[in-house]
Structure 1
Amino acid sequence: MKTIAFNGKFFGAAPTGVHRVAEQLMAATDALLAGRAAAEEADYAVVVRDCVKVPPFRAIACVRESPRVRRMHRIAWEQVYFPFSRRKDFILNLCNLGPLLHRDSATMIHDAQVYSAPESYSRGFRLWYKFLFFFIGKRHKIIFTVSEFSKQEIVRYGIASADKIFVVHNGCDHVLQILPDTSPLAALNLKPARYVLALANTQKHKNIGVLLKAFAGKELENVELVLFGGATRADFEQLGHAVPRNVRFAGRVSDPELVGLMTHAGALAFPSLTEGFGLPPLEAMALGCPVVAAPFGALPEVCGNAALYADPFSPEAWRSALLEAIDDPATRETLVEAGRRQAGEFTWQQAAHRLCDIVKAVNG
């Protein structure tokens, strides 16, 4: 009986959007397997390098390495020890990278932004990812990705051929299970529906600069821009951005705090120039928050007709679209209703079904 071994290297690492997707997809896969375990012809296990807390899966066993192995460097563990120790298994990697020595593998490559947006990453990061992508795309049996746009990009940059790439869309229904914490509204003195939420991210392709310019205009002087995430006012100013007085920095927020901010926001602004999927807009839609996005990357695929789109190079276009989403009752109602319907099309259960069915077909 073949074992499907999840690469659990990401457990215990600093949280990222990619890690969040992996955790949600594994939880949904576990729930799916628990419901049909008797019919499965494979065992499922997650192998973790560190002694860290792992969700209490029902159908997926957790394999923790010995103290000696835990001291091994994470790259050496992933590229040498892990594939050797699981050489008889099918390895499933959900966080972009995986062992090059193990051909009987599937790897989820979320985007090709080290190629399409190189200025957003350090030279060392770009070279490492490009090196691994080249061999992963050629050697691994399956390449999963999260959107048709990302599939096209992976083919375009020669990472893998289209016939071995399978799209598994992210889900967004996890936000509906989180109780909102509205304490950030009080801490930042925010009025419900009179602030716009966006990422505090200085990567060039995230394009937050266009929002800073938009909020410098008189039309938005009574609306606040709330940026959540790790980047600070000083980080933006060091890059030459002028930060208007009506911009608030929420810092890193917990999941309940983010849900609280999204639930009461006038809109979520997402001006990214390229995006492999774009989960925050769907999360906002699921919570009844209108979305204004750039018509680039996978955002039109993900948001469909449920968002307003604005030219990512025009602060004036963003002012106009945001004011329409916030102040026009008819537009706002339409966006909220359409957003909930659109978000309902993306569930983790659907994602887990597709992932397991493809892995099973390859190993059948």
Structure 2
Amino acid sequence: MPSGTPPHQIPIYVNGRFLGRPLTGVERFAGGILHAIDDLLDDEQAKAWTILVPKGVSLDQGFRKIAVKTAGRLTGHAWEQIDLLAASRDGILVNPCNSAPVLHGRQLTVIHDALVYRFPQGFSRSYRLLHQTLGRLLARRSRLATVSDFSRKELSDVLKVPVETISVISNAVDHMVDVTADETVLDRLGLRDRRYFLFIGSPAPNKNLARAIQAFGALDRSDVSFVLVGKAAKAFSKGEATVRPAHLLETGRLSDAEILSLYAHAQALVFPSLYEGFGIPPLEAMRENCPVLASDIPVLREVCGDAAAYFDPLDTGSMSRAMLAVLDGQADLQALRQAGRLRSAEFSWKNSATELLRVVTTIASSSR
């Protein structure tokens, strides 16, 4: 049993602001790891834990042992900096989603990547300035963690803190274990008897979607579609992909059950990112026996290992050749699937939760 309760029953609070936001990779990390902690703690240990949320957020979040409580009357960043600070002052605060009250004296903050510093063009000026400043303040006021060794080195560089002081608490994909695939999505999208490549993500600049669309268009194949799952692509209005290729299908946001079915039937997941803090979709695809075509960038090499076929994300010809190798049988898909299943099994929320508990206990011990 992990030591989930630090010495002397110090209260442990969790910044639950994420529970009132739409589900993205950051929120998925927070939910996955907290539910794993809920499973790991015994009843006595769980008494020390409380998830604090702003008003209006449901208290029924599926936790069996950890309490969820409303704190304060404010919302947004003001809630975090004022109400959350006041409610958690007597204990340790765990912040799983990039931000935290800067005046808290004993806390762990998970900053998932250095994207706001490395790709500032993907954010509004106000968001960029706020989160760049917040990150620098938290680097001085909080114990930091992140989701990959790549991100640890990146954050160490941009925030000017020793790399060894930043913990690595990985993402995982076993949140899909209890999801049942919704096969009706194949009929609704006209994909039941059609081959397709799959993209899961947003149209943010770091996702490099415009080049992936160009690479698909260069195939000029009428027998294959490119399915884009997520927010509507903006590539066509940016001058990067001025011609919309045929057989491109934008689905908008889909449920996990629908995405699970798309993974199971896709020719391959195409993950063309220029920059990531981790990259959850490739591991999800691997778990569902879907081959992965990924950008040859350090973080994806770290996450995917030898279980993906890599391409140059700046070269649309390289992407096209990777897709064509799948369609024409040149790629060893059986080997990719087998390696993918083994690779995805290495990541679990239980392991990540155990590491977070270890870090929290270290904070508690050092603050006595």
For the aligned pair, the TM-score class normalised by the smaller chain equals over 0.9
Partners of 1:130 and 1:209 in 2: how far apart? 27
Task: Return the structure number with greater relative CO, CA threshold 8 A, min gap 6.
Answer: 2
Considering only aligned residues, what root-mean-square deviation do their CA atoms show, in Å?
1.8
Matched, 1:238 2:237: yes
1:69-102 deviation line (CA, Å, top 9, x unaligned):
33x2321111012112221110000000000010
Matched, 1:27 2:26: no
Matched, 1:320 2:314: no
Among 4, 12, 28, the residue aligned to 2:12 = 4
Residue identity opposite 1:239 in structure 2: K
Question: Which residue of the partner structure matches residue 103 of structure 1?
Answer: 105
Further displaced range: 171-180 or 90-99? 171-180
Partners of 2:221 and 2:319 in 1: how far apart? 10
The 3 A distance-change label for structure 1 pair 196 and 84 is: same
Question: Which residue of the partner structure matches residue 260 of structure 1?
Answer: 261
Residue identity opposite 1:60 in structure 2: I
Partners of 1:285 and 1:214 in 2: how far apart? 22
Partners of 2:147 and 2:347 in 1: how far apart? 11
Question: Conserved in 2, the CA contact under 8 Å of 1:107 and 1:144?
Answer: yes
Partners of 2:108 and 2:99 in 1: how far apart? 10
SS at match of 1:217: helix
Q: TM-score, normalised by structure 1?
A: 0.93
5+ residue gaps, structure 1: none
Among 121, 125, 128, the residue aligned to 1:126 = 128
How many residues align? The count is 354
Question: Which residue of the partner structure matches residue 52 of structure 2?
Answer: 47
SS at match of 2:202: coil
Matched, 1:58 2:64: yes
Residue identity opposite 2:134 in structure 1: L
SS at match of 1:282: helix
Matched, 1:80 2:82: yes
Residue identity opposite 1:248 in structure 2: L
Further displaced range: 311-320 or 218-227? 218-227
The 3 A distance-change label for structure 1 pair 345 and 200 is: closer
Partners of 1:56 and 1:32 in 2: how far apart? 15
Question: Conserved in 2, the CA contact under 8 Å of 1:192 and 1:264?
Answer: no
5+ residue gaps, structure 2: 1-8
- Deviation of 1:318 after TM superposition, in Å, equals 1.2
Residue identity opposite 1:307 in structure 2: A
Q: Which runs of 4+ in 1 moved over 6 A?
A: none
SS at match of 1:25: helix
Residue identity opposite 1:212 in structure 2: I
Further displaced range: 303-312 or 56-65? 56-65
Which residues in structure 2 correspond to 1:1-364 (within 5 Å)?
A: 1-34=9-42, 37-38=43-44, 40=45, 43-53=48-58, 54-65=60-71, 69-70=72-73, 72-140=74-142, 142-191=143-192, 194-199=195-200, 201-218=202-219, 220-232=221-233, 235-240=234-239, 241=241, 242-328=243-329, 331-364=332-365
Further displaced range: 297-306 or 93-102? 297-306
How many percent identity over aligned positions? 36
Residue identity opposite 1:32 in structure 2: L
